[in-house]
A = this chain, B = another copy of it.
């Protein structure tokens, strides 16, 4: 048959303390890997051609809700025609190139208390908020896209290009014009890559939102380290996110650590952003019970200067310049 059903169930207990506000406990979903169901399949069309589809729906395993209230197959909805020699043509909703190029360098995979996503939000005044209002859609995914992805085995090269039209939609309903590209090179234990995603919508009409990433990774054996820089630009505002990550295999598990710094510059209207910055330290351990199942624990600490970034899941109302701390223990199960 032409369809495989699988997914991930990931649940954790989290406690977050925000400076001056006390703590809050919660059950959360997807702190090691987003809980999801996946329907996918491929068909060999003969020659070196194949057809494939991929539908992926996020699950909030703590409440049973779908992670998107509007798009059930929010994580991915694509149809592909692929050739071993010429690569893959992919249509639909998928990750943007700059996100793909960033997430693999984050030891915490852009999720959980220590995920680098804590610094990619529309909450603070800056380029992301200017471009998207409250929903920073195309910093992760876009709908309505056409992609061409390089085939495997082009001498270590990997990457692709992506384009999506806005279809007369708005930032509010998640429809943007998107242009993006990614190019990486993997050789032995090292990877270097760069990507850019440019978004235009009704909020960026006279201008554009640019999301650029350069990153690298090297596996020394006892430790794998990564370095990544992501820069968001909109009009006169800029946000720079810098990440240093490390993975250390230990017995049946892995220690993970990351340091992420967000730094704002320029201005939005009359508001100068200079001097606004934050950094996050993350430390975690993942213990594999089997190939499919693991227990994990993670610590995170965020320090702000002029900003109010928080570890998600704490009491609301952190004052600018406050700090936030979080801890979580959970289990991830692939099916």
Partner-B contacts on A (CB < 8 A):
1-7, 9-11, 13, 24-27, 37, 39, 41, 43, 45-46, 49, 51-53, 55, 59-66, 68-79, 81, 91-93, 143-146, 164-165, 167-168, 174, 289-290, 292-293, 313, 315-316, 331, 333-335
Given contacts A11-B79, A49-B289, A144-B26, contact A65 B55 (CB under 8 A): no
Hey, which chain B residues are within 8 Å of A79, CB to CB? 9-11, 61, 331, 333
A287, B146: Cα distance in complex, Å: 21
Hey, which chain B residues are within 8 Å of A174, CB to CB? 63
In the complex, the chain B residue whose C-beta lies closest to that of A24 is B168
Closest Cβ–Cβ distance, residue A328 to chain B (whole Å): 12
A334, B24: Cα distance in complex, Å: 42
Hey, which chain B residues are within 8 Å of A74, CB to CB? 64
Hey, which chain B residues are within 8 Å of A289, CB to CB? 45, 49, 51
Closest Cβ–Cβ distance, residue A54 to chain B (whole Å): 9
Hey, which chain B residues are within 8 Å of A43, CB to CB? 290, 292-293, 333, 335
Hey, which chain B residues are within 8 Å of A60, CB to CB? 77
A25, B146: Cα distance in complex, Å: 12
Closest Cβ–Cβ distance, residue A286 to chain B (whole Å): 15
A-B contact pairs, 15 of them (CB 8 A): A1-B6, A25-B167, A27-B146, A43-B292, A43-B333, A45-B289, A46-B290, A51-B290, A55-B59, A63-B77, A64-B71, A64-B73, A64-B77, A65-B73, A168-B316
Query: Is there an interface contact between B64 and A72, defined as CB atoms closer than 8 Å?
Result: yes
Hey, which chain B residues are within 8 Å of A37, CB to CB? 39, 55
Q: Which 6 A-B pairs have the closest CB atoms?
A: A64-B77, A64-B73, A9-B53, A2-B335, A63-B143, A11-B91
Closest Cβ–Cβ distance, residue A3 to chain B (whole Å): 5
Query: Is there an interface contact between A69 and B66, defined as CB atoms closer than 8 Å?
Result: no
Hey, which chain B residues are within 8 Å of A293, CB to CB? 43, 45, 51
